[in-house]
Structure 1
Amino acid sequence: MKIMCLNSWGGKLHEALLPYLAETVPDILCLQEVTHRPASDKDWLTYRDGDHVLPQRANLFRDVSGALPDHVAVFCPAAQGTLWDGDRAIPSQWGLASFVHRSLPIIGQVQGFVHKDYEPNGFGEHPRSRSAHGVRVFDHGAGRTVSVTQMHGLRDLRGKMDTPDRAAQARRFLDLSRQVSGPNDTVVACGDFNVEPGSETLAILADAGLTELVTARGFETTRTSHYAKPGRFADYMLVNREQDVRGFDVIRDPEVSDHCPLVLSL
């Protein structure tokens, strides 16, 4: 089973992203920063937050669903805010999405918020709402049950330091993972956590018996050349049974976002 986790950057590099997903075909894809505007007739819109301006796919959820037609797709919105078509404001949902190959029966799901709640009238003040989603599948090929839970950790404008909000977020995330997992499951937790190695977030997950794979296996960054700021880590993948790991990689090439895809083989 191949599990991929990626912050998609709103699909800014979709010309590389969609062929990469169609070629690699992960069994389970956990995707963050996903746009969803079902009624839009546009391919591109613009996100504006002060001096931060970023092109966004108008409906990345639809785009990725088209690239992975044999997957069950679930979109989990965190907020509905405004993207822009020139000077025209376009309401748009934003959140994360999970894609599960139809060969894997989904026998459990959980969805919830790890920070704040759904924002229906704008993206909100920083740190903004953050959601999480978990699926439990049965892998008939291996004869085992696997749970995979993802989140997009809150962004604090002051940086990636430990805060009470981040600690509370980690505990909520852990609770959601436990809700969707059975006692004998292989458990995977992943996402763009927006924290550095050595953070309280990772310590909370480690205390729960999860092994973090990115730094433990010697990877020095989860960012691509498109990310110019300091701090080379954001994304993590953890497992409860390291002996079930057949392979793990942080993909540097091709560059499909300002984040690297994390790929776990069980």
Structure 2
Amino acid sequence: MTANYLETPQGRRIAYHKTEGAGPVIVFLGGLKSDMEGTKAIHLEAWAQAQGRAFLRFDYSGHGESSEKFEDGCIGDWHEDTLAAVAALTEGPIVPVGSSMGGWQALLLARAVPERIAGMVTIAAAPDFTEDGYWASFTEAQKAELDAQGYVELPSDYMEPYRISQRMIEDGRTRLVLRSPLALPFPVRCLQGTADTAVSTETALRLLDHAECEDMRLTLVKDADHRFSDEACLKLIEAALEEVLGVS
């Protein structure tokens, strides 16, 4: 199926697929360097279609079929892309489903447009990872390299090395969500695998403890990894969505 495109106010070209249906609109927010063709996004789109529910998946700039280069992007750019997609392509209440970095994006979205959000599901959410993951783990040599050439390269378990720019680190510091009050006045379901080597259970517990939310639950899944996309994990995501959507 051919993607549609949206031009953001910043001039970036965002690829997306949208399914019409009943609201709230489920908005899938992918992880760092992943795209809207991933297992979870495609599975949830089919699940939403089977239920007659509205669904949106898209590629941030520098990801998948969208414009720009990954190396030039940062958390703030992808937040702008998310805001643009939600504003232009959805109406009424939405339910973000944020995977990894998309979990951070979902929390930024909740801070920006809380009145639009009816519920939220996160999968291995990685809020503040540029500071607490990357910067906190950099050696003095890596910090010097970042300062000298504007980027460092980090190995990945899933693909070619990530090139992490100084802009990503510095912009990330302006988007942190675990250092100040985080109000989530809607149902939230968080899913986390205990065998995840990219996002720790400590991060999931920190988010649970920090957020101001009257209906927030964290499910730890023994031996599930960061992909969280086998059949059992996909069923858990469906169940979490049904809970926040109020489906009995």
The two structures have a TM-score, normalised by structure 2, of 0.38
Q: Which has the higher helix share?
A: 2
Question: Larger % of strand: which?
Answer: 1
Q: Which structure carries more relative contact order (alpha carbon 8 Å, separation 6+)?
A: 1
TM-score w.r.t. length of structure 1: 0.36
